[in-house]
Structure 1
Amino acid sequence: MTVDDHDVAEDLATRAGEVLLALRAEHGFADGPALKKAGDLGSHEFLMAELAGIRPADAVLSEEGKDDLVRLGAERVWIVDPLDGTREYSEEGRDDWAVHVALYEKGALAAGAVALPAQGRTLSTRPGSPLLADLTARFAAPPADILDKRAPVRIVVSRTRPPQVVAQLREHLHAAGYTTELVPMGSAGAKIAAVLLGDADVYVHAGGQYEWDNAAPAAVSLAAGAHASRIDGAELRYNAEDPYLPDILVCHPALSDLILAGVR
Protein backbone atom coordinates (compact mmCIF):
# COMPACT_ATOMS: atom_id res chain seq x y z
CA MET A 1 0.00 0.00 0.00
CA THR A 2 2.34 2.70 -1.26
CA VAL A 3 -0.38 5.31 -1.78
CA ASP A 4 -1.54 7.11 1.35
CA ASP A 5 -5.15 6.40 2.39
CA HIS A 6 -5.95 10.11 2.65
CA ASP A 7 -4.77 10.59 -0.93
CA VAL A 8 -6.80 7.58 -2.08
CA ALA A 9 -9.98 8.96 -0.49
CA GLU A 10 -9.49 12.44 -1.93
CA ASP A 11 -8.51 11.22 -5.38
CA LEU A 12 -11.34 8.70 -5.73
CA ALA A 13 -14.03 11.09 -4.47
CA THR A 14 -12.81 13.80 -6.83
CA ARG A 15 -12.60 11.50 -9.86
CA ALA A 16 -15.99 9.92 -9.13
CA GLY A 17 -17.32 13.47 -9.13
CA GLU A 18 -15.82 13.98 -12.58
CA VAL A 19 -17.61 10.84 -13.76
CA LEU A 20 -20.87 12.24 -12.41
CA LEU A 21 -20.38 15.62 -14.08
CA ALA A 22 -19.71 13.89 -17.40
CA LEU A 23 -22.86 11.77 -17.05
CA ARG A 24 -24.86 14.88 -16.17
CA ALA A 25 -23.62 16.58 -19.34
CA GLU A 26 -24.27 13.50 -21.44
CA HIS A 27 -27.81 12.75 -20.25
CA GLY A 28 -29.13 16.24 -19.58
CA PHE A 29 -32.04 16.91 -17.24
CA ALA A 30 -35.08 15.97 -19.31
CA ASP A 31 -35.39 12.52 -17.69
CA GLY A 32 -34.63 12.88 -14.00
CA PRO A 33 -35.07 9.22 -13.00
CA ALA A 34 -32.77 8.07 -15.81
CA LEU A 35 -30.11 10.58 -14.80
CA LYS A 36 -30.30 9.48 -11.15
CA LYS A 37 -29.92 5.83 -12.15
CA ALA A 38 -27.01 6.56 -14.47
CA GLY A 39 -25.26 8.63 -11.80
CA ASP A 40 -25.68 6.08 -9.01
CA LEU A 41 -24.48 3.20 -11.20
CA GLY A 42 -21.69 5.01 -12.99
CA SER A 43 -20.08 6.39 -9.83
CA HIS A 44 -20.50 3.10 -7.96
CA GLU A 45 -18.89 1.04 -10.72
CA PHE A 46 -15.99 3.50 -10.96
CA LEU A 47 -15.32 3.41 -7.21
CA MET A 48 -15.59 -0.37 -6.97
CA ALA A 49 -13.18 -0.88 -9.86
CA GLU A 50 -10.67 1.59 -8.48
CA LEU A 51 -10.76 0.21 -4.94
CA ALA A 52 -10.40 -3.33 -6.26
CA GLY A 53 -7.24 -2.25 -8.04
CA ILE A 54 -5.71 -0.01 -5.37
CA ARG A 55 -6.87 -1.75 -2.19
CA PRO A 56 -7.79 -5.32 -3.23
CA ALA A 57 -7.55 -6.71 0.32
CA ASP A 58 -9.94 -4.18 1.84
CA ALA A 59 -13.69 -4.62 2.35
CA VAL A 60 -16.17 -2.14 0.90
CA LEU A 61 -19.61 -0.99 2.04
CA SER A 62 -21.38 1.01 -0.67
CA GLU A 63 -24.92 2.32 -0.77
CA GLU A 64 -25.28 0.95 -4.28
CA GLY A 65 -23.62 -2.43 -3.71
CA LYS A 66 -24.60 -5.75 -2.18
CA ASP A 67 -23.65 -5.79 1.49
CA ASP A 68 -21.07 -8.53 2.00
CA LEU A 69 -20.96 -9.18 5.74
CA VAL A 70 -17.39 -10.43 5.45
CA ARG A 71 -16.63 -6.78 6.18
CA LEU A 72 -17.57 -7.36 9.84
CA GLY A 73 -14.33 -9.27 10.36
CA ALA A 74 -12.20 -6.87 8.32
CA GLU A 75 -9.79 -4.38 9.87
CA ARG A 76 -10.16 -2.01 6.92
CA VAL A 77 -13.53 -1.11 5.40
CA TRP A 78 -14.13 1.58 2.79
CA ILE A 79 -17.57 3.16 3.30
CA VAL A 80 -18.75 4.99 0.20
CA ASP A 81 -21.77 6.81 -1.10
CA PRO A 82 -21.25 7.09 -4.86
CA LEU A 83 -23.86 9.85 -5.15
CA ASP A 84 -25.21 11.60 -2.08
CA GLY A 85 -28.14 13.76 -3.07
CA THR A 86 -29.53 12.09 -6.18
CA ARG A 87 -32.49 14.47 -6.25
CA GLU A 88 -30.26 17.54 -6.37
CA TYR A 89 -27.97 15.85 -8.92
CA SER A 90 -30.93 15.44 -11.27
CA GLU A 91 -31.98 19.11 -11.01
CA GLU A 92 -30.32 21.59 -13.34
CA GLY A 93 -28.32 24.29 -11.57
CA ARG A 94 -28.09 22.57 -8.19
CA ASP A 95 -24.66 22.03 -6.68
CA ASP A 96 -25.65 20.59 -3.26
CA TRP A 97 -24.80 16.94 -4.00
CA ALA A 98 -21.67 15.00 -3.15
CA VAL A 99 -19.51 11.89 -3.34
CA HIS A 100 -18.41 10.26 -0.05
CA VAL A 101 -15.34 8.04 0.38
CA ALA A 102 -14.23 7.03 3.89
CA LEU A 103 -11.98 4.41 5.44
CA TYR A 104 -12.89 2.80 8.77
CA GLU A 105 -9.89 1.01 10.21
CA LYS A 106 -9.59 -0.86 13.51
CA GLY A 107 -12.64 0.80 15.02
CA ALA A 108 -12.06 4.40 13.94
CA LEU A 109 -12.45 6.66 10.92
CA ALA A 110 -8.96 6.72 9.42
CA ALA A 111 -9.43 8.79 6.24
CA GLY A 112 -12.20 10.43 4.28
CA ALA A 113 -13.18 12.84 1.54
CA VAL A 114 -16.34 14.64 0.47
CA ALA A 115 -16.30 15.80 -3.12
CA LEU A 116 -18.64 18.60 -4.15
CA PRO A 117 -18.20 18.21 -7.90
CA ALA A 118 -20.54 20.98 -9.04
CA GLN A 119 -18.75 23.35 -6.64
CA GLY A 120 -15.34 22.30 -7.91
CA ARG A 121 -13.84 21.29 -4.55
CA THR A 122 -13.14 18.31 -2.35
CA LEU A 123 -12.88 18.39 1.43
CA SER A 124 -10.59 15.69 2.78
CA THR A 125 -8.57 14.48 5.74
CA ARG A 126 -5.29 14.72 3.81
CA PRO A 127 -2.63 16.23 6.09
CA GLY A 128 -1.07 19.31 4.56
CA SER A 129 -4.14 20.12 2.47
CA PRO A 130 -4.55 23.94 2.34
CA LEU A 131 -8.31 23.59 2.63
CA LEU A 132 -8.02 21.32 5.69
CA ALA A 133 -5.64 23.85 7.23
CA ASP A 134 -8.24 26.58 6.70
CA LEU A 135 -10.95 24.44 8.27
CA THR A 136 -8.75 23.56 11.24
CA ALA A 137 -8.06 27.26 11.86
CA ARG A 138 -11.77 28.02 11.72
CA PHE A 139 -12.64 25.45 14.36
CA ALA A 140 -9.69 26.38 16.60
CA ALA A 141 -11.15 29.87 17.09
CA PRO A 142 -14.39 30.40 19.06
CA PRO A 143 -17.36 31.74 17.06
CA ALA A 144 -17.55 34.91 19.14
CA ASP A 145 -20.41 36.50 17.20
CA ILE A 146 -22.63 33.54 17.99
CA LEU A 147 -21.50 33.01 21.55
CA ASP A 148 -22.26 36.63 22.42
CA LYS A 149 -25.58 36.29 20.54
CA ARG A 150 -24.90 38.99 17.96
CA ALA A 151 -25.54 36.64 15.06
CA PRO A 152 -28.20 33.98 14.44
CA VAL A 153 -27.32 30.30 14.82
CA ARG A 154 -27.62 28.99 11.26
CA ILE A 155 -29.02 25.46 11.21
CA VAL A 156 -28.74 23.59 7.92
CA VAL A 157 -31.74 21.38 7.20
CA SER A 158 -33.28 19.23 4.50
CA ARG A 159 -35.00 21.06 1.66
CA THR A 160 -38.08 18.86 2.05
CA ARG A 161 -37.96 17.01 5.41
CA PRO A 162 -36.60 19.11 8.32
CA PRO A 163 -36.56 16.77 11.36
CA GLN A 164 -38.78 17.56 14.33
CA VAL A 165 -35.70 17.78 16.53
CA VAL A 166 -34.76 21.02 14.75
CA ALA A 167 -38.00 22.68 15.83
CA GLN A 168 -37.34 21.63 19.42
CA LEU A 169 -33.74 22.82 19.21
CA ARG A 170 -34.86 26.22 17.94
CA GLU A 171 -37.25 26.58 20.87
CA HIS A 172 -34.39 25.85 23.27
CA LEU A 173 -32.07 28.35 21.58
CA HIS A 174 -34.72 31.06 21.49
CA ALA A 175 -35.42 30.54 25.19
CA ALA A 176 -31.69 30.95 25.84
CA GLY A 177 -31.67 34.31 24.03
CA TYR A 178 -30.35 33.21 20.63
CA THR A 179 -31.91 33.81 17.25
CA THR A 180 -31.85 31.10 14.61
CA GLU A 181 -31.91 30.82 10.84
CA LEU A 182 -32.73 27.72 8.80
CA VAL A 183 -30.54 27.00 5.77
CA PRO A 184 -32.28 24.50 3.43
CA MET A 185 -29.93 22.26 1.46
CA GLY A 186 -29.73 18.91 -0.31
CA SER A 187 -27.35 16.08 0.51
CA ALA A 188 -25.94 15.28 3.94
CA GLY A 189 -22.43 15.74 2.59
CA ALA A 190 -23.28 19.20 1.26
CA LYS A 191 -24.91 20.14 4.57
CA ILE A 192 -21.92 19.11 6.67
CA ALA A 193 -19.58 20.79 4.18
CA ALA A 194 -21.59 23.98 4.66
CA VAL A 195 -20.89 23.82 8.41
CA LEU A 196 -17.20 23.13 7.82
CA LEU A 197 -16.87 25.95 5.28
CA GLY A 198 -18.64 28.48 7.50
CA ASP A 199 -21.86 28.78 5.50
CA ALA A 200 -23.85 27.29 8.41
CA ASP A 201 -23.22 26.67 12.11
CA VAL A 202 -25.06 23.46 12.98
CA TYR A 203 -26.16 20.29 11.24
CA VAL A 204 -28.41 18.09 13.34
CA HIS A 205 -30.24 15.15 11.82
CA ALA A 206 -32.51 12.60 13.41
CA GLY A 207 -34.65 11.47 10.51
CA GLY A 208 -32.73 8.35 9.53
CA GLN A 209 -29.42 7.82 7.75
CA TYR A 210 -27.03 4.99 6.95
CA GLU A 211 -23.29 4.72 7.49
CA TRP A 212 -22.50 5.81 3.94
CA ASP A 213 -24.51 9.00 4.44
CA ASN A 214 -22.20 10.39 7.08
CA ALA A 215 -18.93 8.40 7.43
CA ALA A 216 -16.88 10.55 5.05
CA PRO A 217 -18.36 13.89 6.24
CA ALA A 218 -17.76 12.82 9.85
CA ALA A 219 -14.15 11.87 9.06
CA VAL A 220 -13.45 15.29 7.55
CA SER A 221 -15.28 17.05 10.40
CA LEU A 222 -13.22 15.31 13.05
CA ALA A 223 -9.97 15.94 11.16
CA ALA A 224 -10.85 19.64 11.00
CA GLY A 225 -11.50 19.83 14.75
CA ALA A 226 -15.29 20.12 14.52
CA HIS A 227 -17.65 18.35 16.90
CA ALA A 228 -19.22 15.26 15.29
CA SER A 229 -21.29 12.81 17.32
CA ARG A 230 -24.63 11.11 17.69
CA ILE A 231 -27.32 13.53 18.86
CA ASP A 232 -26.99 12.20 22.43
CA GLY A 233 -23.28 13.01 22.34
CA ALA A 234 -22.17 9.40 21.84
CA GLU A 235 -19.31 8.52 19.50
CA LEU A 236 -20.14 7.71 15.90
CA ARG A 237 -19.39 4.02 15.25
CA TYR A 238 -19.26 2.29 11.89
CA ASN A 239 -19.09 -1.14 10.24
CA ALA A 240 -22.05 -2.47 12.21
CA GLU A 241 -23.99 -5.50 10.99
CA ASP A 242 -26.94 -3.19 10.41
CA PRO A 243 -25.53 -0.06 8.73
CA TYR A 244 -28.49 2.07 9.84
CA LEU A 245 -27.07 5.12 11.66
CA PRO A 246 -30.04 7.41 12.06
CA ASP A 247 -28.69 10.59 13.64
CA ILE A 248 -25.71 12.92 13.70
CA LEU A 249 -24.66 16.33 15.02
CA VAL A 250 -21.88 18.44 13.52
CA CYS A 251 -21.04 21.89 14.87
CA HIS A 252 -18.27 24.02 16.35
CA PRO A 253 -16.95 22.47 19.58
CA ALA A 254 -17.77 25.69 21.43
CA LEU A 255 -21.45 25.21 20.53
CA SER A 256 -21.69 21.48 21.22
CA ASP A 257 -22.85 21.67 24.86
CA LEU A 258 -25.52 24.22 23.96
CA ILE A 259 -26.77 22.18 21.00
CA LEU A 260 -26.69 18.85 22.82
CA ALA A 261 -28.67 20.37 25.68
CA GLY A 262 -31.25 21.67 23.21
CA VAL A 263 -31.54 18.28 21.54
CA ARG A 264 -31.98 16.53 24.89
Structure 2
Amino acid sequence: MSAALDDAALAAHLAETAGRILLTVRESGLFAGKALGRAGDQVANQFLIHALREQRPDDGILSEESKDTPDRLTKSRVWIVDPLDGTREYGEGRSDWAVHVALAIDGEPVIGAVALPGLDVTLTSGAPVALQPANTPPKMLVSRTRPAAEALAVAESFGAELVPMGSAGAKAMAVVRGEADIYLHTGGQYEWDSAAPAAVALAHGLHASRIDGAPLVYNQQDVAMPDLLICRKEMADSLIAACRNPDTKGRDE
Protein backbone atom coordinates (compact mmCIF):
# COMPACT_ATOMS: atom_id res chain seq x y z
CA MET A 1 0.00 0.00 0.00
CA SER A 2 1.23 3.46 -0.83
CA ALA A 3 2.17 5.72 2.07
CA ALA A 4 0.26 8.42 0.20
CA LEU A 5 -3.02 6.82 1.25
CA ASP A 6 -4.89 9.31 3.41
CA ASP A 7 -5.24 8.75 7.15
CA ALA A 8 -8.93 7.84 7.14
CA ALA A 9 -8.49 5.30 4.37
CA LEU A 10 -5.47 3.84 6.13
CA ALA A 11 -7.38 3.51 9.41
CA ALA A 12 -10.25 1.72 7.66
CA HIS A 13 -7.93 -0.61 5.75
CA LEU A 14 -5.99 -1.51 8.88
CA ALA A 15 -9.14 -2.18 10.93
CA GLU A 16 -10.70 -4.30 8.18
CA THR A 17 -7.52 -6.31 7.62
CA ALA A 18 -6.97 -6.92 11.32
CA GLY A 19 -10.59 -8.07 11.51
CA ARG A 20 -10.04 -10.60 8.73
CA ILE A 21 -6.94 -11.85 10.51
CA LEU A 22 -8.93 -12.30 13.71
CA LEU A 23 -11.64 -14.24 11.89
CA THR A 24 -9.00 -16.50 10.36
CA VAL A 25 -7.46 -17.17 13.77
CA ARG A 26 -10.87 -18.01 15.23
CA GLU A 27 -11.86 -20.19 12.29
CA SER A 28 -8.59 -22.15 12.47
CA GLY A 29 -9.99 -24.23 15.31
CA LEU A 30 -6.59 -24.25 17.01
CA PHE A 31 -7.63 -22.16 20.01
CA ALA A 32 -10.62 -21.88 22.29
CA GLY A 33 -11.87 -19.58 25.05
CA LYS A 34 -9.23 -17.46 26.73
CA ALA A 35 -6.44 -18.97 24.61
CA LEU A 36 -8.28 -17.84 21.50
CA GLY A 37 -8.59 -14.34 22.89
CA ARG A 38 -4.88 -14.16 23.72
CA ALA A 39 -3.88 -15.44 20.28
CA GLY A 40 -6.19 -13.01 18.53
CA ASP A 41 -4.96 -10.04 20.58
CA GLN A 42 -1.32 -10.80 19.86
CA VAL A 43 -1.62 -11.58 16.16
CA ALA A 44 -3.81 -8.57 15.37
CA ASN A 45 -1.57 -6.28 17.41
CA GLN A 46 1.56 -7.40 15.61
CA PHE A 47 -0.06 -6.67 12.26
CA LEU A 48 -1.28 -3.22 13.29
CA ILE A 49 1.98 -2.12 14.91
CA HIS A 50 4.15 -3.25 12.01
CA ALA A 51 1.79 -1.73 9.44
CA LEU A 52 1.66 1.62 11.23
CA ARG A 53 5.43 1.76 11.61
CA GLU A 54 5.77 1.06 7.91
CA GLN A 55 3.07 3.48 6.74
CA ARG A 56 3.45 6.30 9.30
CA PRO A 57 7.00 6.00 10.68
CA ASP A 58 7.04 9.50 12.21
CA ASP A 59 3.80 9.11 14.19
CA GLY A 60 3.41 7.86 17.74
CA ILE A 61 1.53 4.68 18.64
CA LEU A 62 -0.47 3.68 21.70
CA SER A 63 -1.86 0.14 21.76
CA GLU A 64 -3.52 -1.89 24.47
CA GLU A 65 -1.32 -4.85 23.62
CA SER A 66 2.09 -3.12 23.40
CA LYS A 67 4.31 -1.69 26.11
CA ASP A 68 3.71 2.03 26.38
CA THR A 69 6.64 4.42 26.06
CA PRO A 70 6.91 8.17 26.74
CA ASP A 71 7.99 8.80 23.15
CA ARG A 72 4.37 9.22 22.02
CA LEU A 73 3.94 12.19 24.37
CA THR A 74 6.32 14.20 22.19
CA LYS A 75 4.21 13.56 19.06
CA SER A 76 1.38 15.66 17.65
CA ARG A 77 0.01 12.66 15.72
CA VAL A 78 -0.56 9.46 17.67
CA TRP A 79 -2.32 6.31 16.48
CA ILE A 80 -4.40 4.71 19.23
CA VAL A 81 -5.41 1.10 18.60
CA ASP A 82 -7.27 -1.70 20.28
CA PRO A 83 -6.48 -4.81 18.23
CA LEU A 84 -9.38 -6.74 19.76
CA ASP A 85 -12.05 -4.91 21.73
CA GLY A 86 -14.30 -7.50 23.31
CA THR A 87 -11.90 -10.39 23.83
CA ARG A 88 -14.53 -12.32 25.79
CA GLU A 89 -17.10 -12.03 23.02
CA TYR A 90 -14.54 -12.98 20.40
CA GLY A 91 -13.55 -16.07 22.38
CA GLU A 92 -17.20 -17.06 22.83
CA GLY A 93 -17.85 -16.96 19.09
CA ARG A 94 -20.13 -13.91 19.32
CA SER A 95 -20.30 -11.02 16.86
CA ASP A 96 -20.24 -8.06 19.30
CA TRP A 97 -16.48 -7.43 19.25
CA ALA A 98 -14.44 -4.90 17.29
CA VAL A 99 -11.11 -3.61 16.04
CA HIS A 100 -10.30 0.05 16.81
CA VAL A 101 -7.87 2.21 14.84
CA ALA A 102 -7.76 5.94 15.62
CA LEU A 103 -5.51 8.90 14.98
CA ALA A 104 -5.42 11.62 17.62
CA ILE A 105 -3.94 14.95 16.53
CA ASP A 106 -2.97 17.27 19.39
CA GLY A 107 -5.18 15.16 21.65
CA GLU A 108 -8.33 15.29 19.51
CA PRO A 109 -9.88 12.09 18.07
CA VAL A 110 -9.74 13.28 14.46
CA ILE A 111 -9.63 10.01 12.50
CA GLY A 112 -11.16 6.66 13.40
CA ALA A 113 -12.29 3.32 12.05
CA VAL A 114 -14.13 0.60 13.91
CA ALA A 115 -14.40 -2.80 12.25
CA LEU A 116 -17.13 -5.22 13.33
CA PRO A 117 -15.75 -8.33 11.61
CA GLY A 118 -18.48 -10.61 12.93
CA LEU A 119 -21.00 -8.44 11.07
CA ASP A 120 -18.75 -7.73 8.05
CA VAL A 121 -19.11 -3.99 8.73
CA THR A 122 -16.54 -1.21 9.12
CA LEU A 123 -17.54 2.32 10.09
CA THR A 124 -15.11 5.15 9.53
CA SER A 125 -14.79 8.87 10.08
CA GLY A 126 -13.81 9.14 6.43
CA ALA A 127 -17.14 7.93 5.06
CA PRO A 128 -19.98 8.98 7.39
CA VAL A 129 -23.49 7.86 6.54
CA ALA A 130 -26.81 9.47 7.38
CA LEU A 131 -28.14 8.74 10.86
CA GLN A 132 -31.35 6.78 11.23
CA PRO A 133 -34.32 8.35 13.05
CA ALA A 134 -34.23 8.11 16.83
CA ASN A 135 -35.84 5.09 18.47
CA THR A 136 -39.10 5.47 20.38
CA PRO A 137 -38.70 4.84 23.25
CA PRO A 138 -34.96 5.59 23.24
CA LYS A 139 -32.61 2.62 23.53
CA MET A 140 -29.58 2.63 25.83
CA LEU A 141 -26.68 0.21 25.49
CA VAL A 142 -25.36 -1.42 28.65
CA SER A 143 -22.91 -4.14 29.57
CA ARG A 144 -24.32 -7.59 28.96
CA THR A 145 -22.72 -8.84 32.20
CA ARG A 146 -22.58 -5.92 34.68
CA PRO A 147 -24.89 -3.00 33.83
CA ALA A 148 -23.86 0.13 35.75
CA ALA A 149 -26.14 1.69 38.34
CA GLU A 150 -25.65 5.08 36.63
CA ALA A 151 -26.85 3.72 33.31
CA LEU A 152 -29.80 1.97 34.89
CA ALA A 153 -30.85 5.12 36.76
CA VAL A 154 -30.51 7.34 33.69
CA ALA A 155 -32.38 4.82 31.55
CA GLU A 156 -35.23 4.80 34.05
CA SER A 157 -35.40 8.60 34.10
CA PHE A 158 -35.51 8.68 30.28
CA GLY A 159 -37.89 5.75 29.95
CA ALA A 160 -35.19 4.12 27.83
CA GLU A 161 -35.12 0.47 26.82
CA LEU A 162 -31.93 -1.32 27.87
CA VAL A 163 -29.96 -3.17 25.18
CA PRO A 164 -27.22 -5.48 26.54
CA MET A 165 -24.15 -5.78 24.29
CA GLY A 166 -20.49 -6.76 24.48
CA SER A 167 -17.56 -4.58 23.50
CA ALA A 168 -17.32 -0.80 23.76
CA GLY A 169 -16.80 -0.53 20.02
CA ALA A 170 -19.84 -2.64 19.26
CA LYS A 171 -21.95 -0.50 21.61
CA ALA A 172 -20.75 2.80 20.16
CA MET A 173 -21.28 1.62 16.59
CA ALA A 174 -24.78 0.45 17.48
CA VAL A 175 -25.57 4.12 18.16
CA VAL A 176 -24.00 5.14 14.86
CA ARG A 177 -26.02 2.46 13.05
CA GLY A 178 -29.28 3.53 14.68
CA GLU A 179 -29.76 0.34 16.67
CA ALA A 180 -29.65 2.42 19.85
CA ASP A 181 -29.52 6.07 20.89
CA ILE A 182 -27.31 6.20 23.99
CA TYR A 183 -24.07 4.57 25.13
CA LEU A 184 -23.31 5.63 28.70
CA HIS A 185 -20.26 4.09 30.37
CA THR A 186 -19.00 4.76 33.88
CA GLY A 187 -16.87 1.78 34.87
CA GLY A 188 -13.45 2.92 33.74
CA GLN A 189 -11.85 2.50 30.34
CA TYR A 190 -8.59 3.38 28.61
CA GLU A 191 -7.84 5.60 25.64
CA TRP A 192 -7.85 2.68 23.20
CA ASP A 193 -11.38 1.74 24.24
CA SER A 194 -12.95 4.98 23.04
CA ALA A 195 -10.63 6.86 20.66
CA ALA A 196 -11.78 5.22 17.44
CA PRO A 197 -15.45 4.95 18.48
CA ALA A 198 -15.48 8.63 19.49
CA ALA A 199 -13.89 9.74 16.20
CA VAL A 200 -16.43 7.74 14.18
CA ALA A 201 -19.35 8.96 16.30
CA LEU A 202 -18.34 12.61 16.00
CA ALA A 203 -17.89 12.31 12.24
CA HIS A 204 -21.44 10.98 12.01
CA GLY A 205 -22.87 13.98 13.85
CA LEU A 206 -23.30 12.32 17.23
CA HIS A 207 -22.28 13.68 20.62
CA ALA A 208 -19.19 12.19 22.30
CA SER A 209 -17.76 13.42 25.61
CA ARG A 210 -17.10 12.57 29.22
CA ILE A 211 -20.32 12.11 31.18
CA ASP A 212 -19.98 15.61 32.67
CA GLY A 213 -19.79 17.07 29.16
CA ALA A 214 -16.01 17.60 29.20
CA PRO A 215 -14.25 16.91 25.90
CA LEU A 216 -12.42 13.65 25.29
CA VAL A 217 -8.67 14.30 25.25
CA TYR A 218 -6.21 11.63 24.11
CA ASN A 219 -2.49 10.90 24.16
CA GLN A 220 -2.25 11.67 27.87
CA GLN A 221 0.44 10.34 30.19
CA ASP A 222 -2.26 8.58 32.20
CA VAL A 223 -4.28 6.67 29.62
CA ALA A 224 -7.18 5.85 31.96
CA MET A 225 -10.55 7.34 30.91
CA PRO A 226 -13.13 6.79 33.63
CA ASP A 227 -16.30 7.43 31.66
CA LEU A 228 -17.83 8.03 28.24
CA LEU A 229 -21.05 9.31 26.71
CA ILE A 230 -21.94 8.74 23.06
CA CYS A 231 -25.46 9.69 22.08
CA ARG A 232 -27.65 11.61 19.71
CA LYS A 233 -26.93 15.35 19.97
CA GLU A 234 -30.46 16.30 20.92
CA MET A 235 -30.24 14.06 24.00
CA ALA A 236 -26.81 15.17 25.21
CA ASP A 237 -27.70 18.06 27.52
CA SER A 238 -30.41 16.11 29.33
CA LEU A 239 -28.19 13.05 29.70
CA ILE A 240 -25.29 15.09 31.08
CA ALA A 241 -27.64 16.70 33.59
CA ALA A 242 -28.95 13.29 34.62
CA CYS A 243 -25.41 11.98 35.06
CA ARG A 244 -24.75 14.74 37.59
CA ASN A 245 -27.44 13.29 39.85
CA PRO A 246 -25.51 12.17 42.98
CA ASP A 247 -28.00 9.36 43.61
CA THR A 248 -26.69 7.34 40.63
CA LYS A 249 -23.45 5.52 41.40
CA GLY A 250 -22.12 2.22 40.11
CA ARG A 251 -19.72 0.39 37.83
CA ASP A 252 -19.83 -0.88 34.27
CA GLU A 253 -17.37 -2.63 31.97
TM (normalized to structure 1)? 0.89
Q: Which amino acid aligns with 1:12?
A: L
| Structure-1 separation of matches of 2:46 and 2:232 | 36
Aligned: 1:167 with 2:152: yes
Question: What's the secondary structure of 2:130's corresponding residue?
Answer: helix
Q: Which amino acid aligns with 1:256?
A: A
**Runs ≥4 in structure 1, deviation > 2 angstroms?**
170-173
Aligned counterparts, 1:92-111, within 5 A: 92=93, 94-111=94-111
| Structure-1 separation of matches of 2:30 and 2:236 | 42
Deviations 1:76-135 (A, max 9, x none): 10000000000000112x100000000011232221100000100100011xx3xx1334
* Count of equivalent residues: 242
Aligned counterparts, 1:118-137, within 5 A: 118-126=118-126, 129=127, 132-135=128-131
Match of 2:237 among 248, 257, 261: 257
Aligned: 1:244 with 2:238: no
Deviations 1:34-80 (A, max 9, x none): 10111000000000110011011111000000001111111110000
Q: Which amino acid aligns with 1:76?
A: R
| Structure-2 separation of matches of 1:208 and 1:27 | 33
Aligned counterparts, 1:167-246, within 5 A: 167-173=152-158, 179-246=159-226
Aligned counterparts, 1:3-152, within 5 A: 3-27=5-29, 31-92=32-93, 94-126=94-126, 129=127, 132-135=128-131, 138=132, 143=134, 151-152=136-137
| Structure-2 separation of matches of 1:221 and 1:123 | 9
| Structure-2 separation of matches of 1:259 and 1:215 | 21
Deviation, 1:231, is 0.1
* C-alpha contact (below 8 Å) 1:63/1:212 kept by paired residues: yes
Which runs of 5 or more structure 1 residues have no equivalent in the other structure? 174-178
| Structure-1 separation of matches of 2:183 and 2:189 | 13
Deviations 1:135-176 (A, max 9, x none): 4xx4xx7x4xx6xxxx22211001111111112213432xxx
Structure having the larger proportion of residues in helix: 1
* C-alpha contact (below 8 Å) 2:89/2:96 kept by paired residues: yes
Q: Which amino acid aligns with 1:44?
A: N
Question: What's the secondary structure of 1:134's corresponding residue?
Answer: coil
Which runs of 5 or more structure 2 residues have no equivalent in the other structure? 245-253
Percent identical among aligned pairs is 52
